[in-house]
Structure 1
């Protein structure tokens, strides 16, 4: 049977001739959970990038009459008074009612009121990325005086959907920036330690052991509590990112050091050294690619750790502070009895954290398996 007669032989031949990155992509596409995680992670970063456009309202705009407003269901079919129907986005209106004995405010459906919505409608003005003045939102009320709450409102009457969308930018970016900084520290210090050895190796490894011997959570709490309360939100955001990075680089540094110790005496490294290659070229051109699978997996699996760390610190009141909006800051505002009993929708940021962490873990597992040639051979 010829290759042209059997498609399986054609596929095998194409894979045999493909580049390393092409093989990684082919193996990654076969991992369904990893592909799903990649789509979710990409969606979250796109939500963070276009938060102003996707959020229906200003996340800091409050309404005294809408305190703890419950979520409203988005409806597409609208029925008129004559019994006919048409396709039109809207939500059913709700009105506040106060109990005359307990003075508790509850919201009940207002059957005579409908809030109609428009796609790409005009709403609160904003500057996209702080540069482009715009008024269009993905979803906005036709009457700009009206408000709707798809995920409810908080204790100040602020739209939770808008706040979660804006919190996505901070929580997801702090993980990306923090991992980038820890990756650079781990690769540089671990590479120098493993390549040169001797005194450099001893100093770097003693520093690594010192950091690893410290309990992580008390260390984060102590460093975060030491930050001046007078710092602006951008300064505090940068400081928290640096603190998380200073703790997270040690594991990667030890792995890189072990790999470099094993590779520096290999024939291809010795040949490159005798051929006059510089230290930088030998490290980044010859040694780093051989451990690319572990580097990729370390990056994708370290981002959820950063996200959880920031969320935990902000939840305890030692991380980011209002008016900065992150998932941890939003969860901190929900830590009271009234939220548990009457406003469970305030815990929606916790679902966003779980979704992001699970998706990043699936993505990291898939990238690790796809980039590991031994894992590919075993399948």
Structure 2
């Protein structure tokens, strides 16, 4: 809009509004989705929570003071050591934790690790630890936090074997989230191929694929996993069990997404741009990938994000009942196995900390999926 001699000059507010309209109408679909998603505060908060969890898991060798199998035999089932600045003996400018002493329970006569309020051990940053490889490649020996005198720091306590709960939780976060990502990717590829073929060709091909999909959906999952767990060789390494677990979750997680892709393709396969691509000689795979899928890519992304909680819960539940990963592998489910007894609930409630991570991850993925769904819908107003 330009000013004419017969019209009043454009004000600053009108100029800003005009520029915003021009920017909006010239933006791409993904830019509009990002703008709407950015206004969804709950989804942005969920994305930040997941980002922090992924970051801590990826660089667990740096943030975790110890490895997954390192033990402190002098601090079995020890309570969390919370850094503080003040205690009954005064205050300090540096954070510290109390030392520990071992006492005998008068009832059970078992050795119990207790904090010693008369001893202070100061917390230091960037301390030396056991050699490890960051991301499996970069050699590293420095840890983010520790005690200056070389003593052991257990921020979230230890388990019955004296292993650090904080360190194991960070490593478990990486394992559980990576299984969720890999399982969703495998199921997505299968759903894309199977659902795409059913929705594009229709007819007999669609009928055969739908019957096969229904057979897969009605398979009882728990008995199936019990049989597969029994079939896994006992001499398999933790890496082999990890990949087997990922593949199994992916192979049986595709039917729901495949049916959604099929329904979307059935609704648009008669559109003019699809017919034009077919008349131009494009192959079915190119028509599906280049012309049909981009029309509802945003909804596929939403479905993928919503699938993550189911994968994570499946891995956690199976590992919790002993059908998934096995020690020395560490995941949220493997760690929660130790908290099944009444003794653990009563004497070591900090062993339930991995359950908090499970709840946070599932809620964050659910809220993130809701935000992406609202952002991908042009008729929905993201809050």
TM-score by length of 1: 0.93
Q: Describe how 1:137-152 pairs up with structure 2 within 5 A.
A: 137-144=143-150, 146-152=151-157
Q: Which residue of the partner structure matches residue 349 of structure 1?
A: 354
Does the Cα contact within 8 Å between 1:127 and 1:134 map onto a contact in 2?
yes
Q: Within 5 A, what are the aligned runs for 1:66-145?
A: 66-75=75-84, 77=85, 85-100=91-106, 102-144=108-150
- Correspondence list, 1:16-95, <5 A: 16-75=25-84, 77=85, 85-95=91-101
Q: Is the 1:3–1:9 contact (alpha carbons within 8 Å) kept by the matching residues of 2? A: no
Q: 1:374 aligns with which of 357, 368, 379?
A: 379
CA–CA separation in structure 2 for the residues paired with 1:101 and 1:312: 35
Check if 1:168 corresponds to 2:176: no
SS in 2 for 1:310: helix
Indicate how the Cα distance of structure 1 residues 40 and 112 shifts in structure 2: closer, same or farther if over 3 A, else same.
same
Aligned residues: 374
Query: How far off its partner does 1:105 sit?
Result: 3.3
User: In structure 1, how many angstroms separate the alpha carbons of the residues matched to 2:355 and 2:92?
Assistant: 36
Is 1:5–2:13 an aligned residue pair? yes
Secondary structure, aligned partner of 2:171: helix
CA deviation vs aligned residue, 1:171-194 (integer Å, no higher than 9, x gap)? 000000000000000011100111
What SS is found at the alignment partner of 2:336?
A: helix
Secondary structure in 1 matching 2:380:
helix
In structure 2, the partner of 1:267 is: 272
1:255 aligns with 2:260: yes
User: Deviation of residue 86 (structure 1)?
Assistant: 4.3
For residues 54-73 of structure 1, the C-alpha deviation after alignment (integer angstroms, 9 at most, x for no partner) is 10112211122211100111
5+ residue gaps in structure 2? Answer: 1-8
Secondary structure at the residue paired with 1:103?
coil
Structure-1 residue corresponding to 2:217 = 212
Per-residue CA shift, 1:216-267, capped at 9, x if unaligned? 3333333333322221111111111111111110011111111111211111
Question: Cα RMSD between the aligned structures?
Answer: 2.0
Contiguous gaps of at least 5 residues in structure 1: none
* Cα displacement (A) at 1:361: 0.8
Residue 223 of structure 1: aligned partner: 228
1:288 maps to 293
1:3, distance to aligned residue in structure 2 (A): 7.0
Tell me, yes or no, if the aligned pair for 1:313 and 1:328 is still in contact at 8 Å. yes
Q: Aligned partners of 1:334, 1:180: CA distance in 2, in Å?
A: 31
User: 1:112 is paired with a residue of what secondary structure?
Assistant: strand
Q: Normalising by the residue count of structure 2, what TM-score does the alignment of the two structures yield? A: 0.92
Q: CA separation in 2, counterparts of 1:72 and 1:227?
A: 40
Asked whether 1:238 is paired with 2:243, we answer yes
**Paired residue secondary structure (2:77):** coil
Preserved contact between residue 74 and residue 89 of structure 1 (Cα < 8 Å): yes
Deviation at 1:132, TM superposition (A): 1.8
Q: Given the superposition, is the C-alpha separation of residues 153 and 73 from structure 1 closer, same or farther in structure 2, using an over 3 Å criterion?
A: same
Contact preservation (8 Å) 1:94, 1:107: yes
Selected match of 1:297 from 294, 302, 308:
302
Q: 1:319 to 1:13 in 2, by over 3 A?
A: same
Shift in Å, 1:315? 0.4
